[in-house]
């Protein structure tokens, strides 16, 4: 039986998810929901039904009841929409970040955990877990090829044009709803968690602002230091106001609207340092003294390159969602994992604002009985 899917929100990313639903033989796109005037035209381009709201769809008898929904609306609407979907017996894949506050994210997790909702799945759309470069890196780490991991160094540096911040998506320039940390760095946090486990301490220094404030009051960038529960340490530079190839999108070419680096291999965005070897991504170069007489800086390093397959992460994420709904897999990025990434982003912002190092409690439900 095909899984009947609706896409809620048809702005930048909703139609991309809708395309994955259309191309997956196990899923049917039954409707697109968006109150914007462009909603009906977008739905008709995708050859599907349009509803201006979830309530209108739920009240309608013209389409079969959906099994699952992909929520692609602005961040502050994620929790009420996801809650409404779960309350109506619909599985949820909600775009990142899971919520716009820790409190509302926790509220959603608690709601999803109620006994009456136990059969329903809540996943968060950190689709990069399904990127072939991330998949390969995780495989290399899990195989122990680098030895014990000591440190990681990351970059997300790129230039966003003025049009990105113009209405109707001017929420991206407001501190309350936008900013490079919750919009972009949150992806890297999730990948760092996926690779190395939870981050427990963070410090941040703000980059020099390049855009006028007002109207831009969201952060543009930061230099961050990280400590993981495992003892691994990291540094990360994030900035959305500099022309640079050193970011996930340019390095991997995963986003069709951000061209891949023309100089393949010169756009490294992660360097991972282990006791036996180090690895840079996405050139997938492993440096070691393997095969040398001595493990010593006096030797010439051995260089190995890994091949990476070709796959579309949004398609793989959807296929995973279907497997989770069918009970054949556990969520790769659960609501809890999604909230952990958000908590780290909020800690990064707190560190930026206070100039203090911020400790992060990994026990999400510590105040619950």
336 binds ligand NAD (CB under 6 A): no
| List 4, 91, 127, 286, residue binding ligand NAD (CB under 6 A) | 127
Residues contacting ligand NAD: total by CB under 6 A? 24
E strand or H helix that includes residue 56: helix 54-59
Minimum CB distance to ligand NAD smaller for 171 or for 287: 171
CB of 268 to ligand NAD, least distance (A): 20
CB of 304 to ligand NAD, least distance (A): 30
CB of 81 to ligand NAD, least distance (A): 6
CB of 33 to ligand NAD, least distance (A): 5
Q: Which residues neighbour 69 within 8 Å (Cβ) at sequence distance 6 or greater?
A: 5, 6, 7, 8, 85, 90, 91, 92, 93
Cα separation of the two ends of the chain:
40
Q: Would you state the structure tokens that stand for residue 97, as one six-digit string?
A: 């970040």
Q: Would you state the structure tokens that stand for residue 87, as one six-digit string?
A: 């309350």
DSSP string, 116-185: GGTTS-EEEE-GGGGSHHHHHHHHHHHTTTT-SEEEEEEEEE-B--GGGGSTTSGGGGSTTT--HIIIII
19 binds ligand NAD (CB under 6 A): no
**Which of 5-13, 19-27, 215-223, 361-369 is the region at the interface with ligand NAD (rule: CB under 6 A)?**
5-13
Minimum CB distance to ligand NAD smaller for 154 or for 274: 154
Q: How many CA atoms are closer than 13 Å to the CA of 40, on its beta-carbon side?
A: 1
**Which of 66-74, 109-117, 203-211, 258-266 is the region at the interface with ligand NAD (rule: CB under 6 A)?**
66-74
d(CA 83, CA 328): 24
99 binds ligand NAD (CB under 6 A): no
Residues 28/21, Cβ–Cβ less than 8 Å: yes
DSSP string, 16-54: HHHHHHHH-TTEEEEEEE--STTHHHHHHHTT-EEESSH
Q: Prior bond to 168 cis, omega within 30? A: yes
| List 3, 5, 7, 8, residue binding ligand NAD (CB under 6 A) | 8
15 binds ligand NAD (CB under 6 A): no
**Which of 69-77, 111-119, 145-153, 356-364 is the region at the interface with ligand NAD (rule: CB under 6 A)?**
69-77
| List 4, 96, 194, 320, residue binding ligand NAD (CB under 6 A) | 96
Minimum CB distance to ligand NAD smaller for 91 or for 172: 172
Minimum CB distance to ligand NAD smaller for 127 or for 320: 127
d(CA 94, CA 25): 21
246 binds ligand NAD (CB under 6 A): no
CB of 14 to ligand NAD, least distance (A): 6
Minimum CB distance to ligand NAD smaller for 72 or for 204: 72
Shortest CA distance to 183 belongs to which of 66, 364, 349? 349
Residue with nearest beta carbon to ligand NAD? 11
Task: List binders of ligand NAD among 171-210 (CB under 6 A).
Answer: 183
11 binds ligand NAD (CB under 6 A): yes
| List 27, 73, 250, 288, residue binding ligand NAD (CB under 6 A) | 73
CB of 351 to ligand NAD, least distance (A): 21
* Strands, E assignment, the chain: 3-8, 27-33, 49-51, 68-71, 91-95, 122-125, 149-157, 199-206, 221-228, 233-239, 270-274, 277-281, 285-288, 302-305, 358-359
Q: Given strand 3-8, what is the order of strands in its sheet?
A: 49-51, 27-33, 3-8, 68-71, 91-95, 122-125
72 binds ligand NAD (CB under 6 A): yes
Minimum CB distance to ligand NAD smaller for 95 or for 268: 95
Binding region for ligand NAD (CB under 6 A): 8-14, 33-36, 53, 72-75, 77, 81, 95-96, 125, 127, 169, 183
């Amino acid at each position: 039986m095909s899984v009947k899917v609706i896409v809620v929100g048809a702005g930048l990313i909703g139609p991309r998810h809708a395309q994955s639903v259309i191309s997956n033989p196990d899923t049917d796109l039954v409707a697109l929901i968006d109150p914007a005037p462009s909603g009906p035209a977008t739905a008709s381009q995708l050859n599907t039904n349009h509803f201006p709201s979830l309530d209108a769809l739920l009240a309608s008898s013209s389409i079969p009841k959906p099994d699952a929904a992909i929520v692609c609306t602005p961040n502050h609407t994620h929790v009420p929409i996801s809650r409404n979907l779960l309350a109506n017996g619909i599985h949820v894949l909600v775009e990142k970040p899971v919520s716009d506050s820790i409190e509302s994210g926790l509220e959603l997790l608690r709601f999803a955990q109620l006994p009456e909702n136990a059969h329903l799945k809540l996943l968060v759309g950190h689709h990069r877990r399904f990127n072939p470069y991330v998949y390969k890196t995780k495989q290399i780490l899990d195989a122990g090829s680098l030895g014990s991991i000591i440190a990681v160094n990351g970059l997300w540096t790129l230039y966003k044009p003025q049009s990105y911040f113009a209405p109707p998506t001017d929420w991206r320039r407001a501190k309350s709803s936008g900013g490079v940390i919750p919009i972009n760095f949150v992806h890297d946090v999730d990948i760092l968690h996926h690779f190395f486990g939870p981050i427990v301490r963070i410090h941040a220094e703000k980059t020099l602002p390049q855009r006028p404030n007002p109207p831009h009051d969201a952060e543009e960038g930061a230099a961050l230091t990280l400590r993981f529960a495992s003892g691994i340490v990291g540094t990360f530079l994030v900035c959305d106001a500099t022309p640079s190839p050193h970011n996930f999108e340019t390095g991997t070419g995963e986003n069709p609207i951000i061209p891949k680096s023309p100089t393949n291999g010169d756009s490294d965005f992660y360097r991972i340092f282990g006791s036996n070897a180090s690895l840079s991504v996405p050139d997938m170069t492993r440096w070691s003294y393997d095969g040398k007489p001595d493990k010593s800086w006096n030797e010439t390093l051995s260089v190995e390159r890994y091949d990476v397959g070709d796959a579309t992460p949004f398609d793989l994420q959807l296929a995973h969602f279907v497997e989770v709904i069918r009970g054949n897999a556990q969520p790769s990025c659960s609501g809890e994992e999604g909230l952990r990434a958000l908590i780290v982003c909020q800690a990064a912002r707190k560190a930026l604002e206070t100039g203090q190092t911020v400790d992060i409690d990994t026990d999400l439900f510590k105040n619950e009985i």
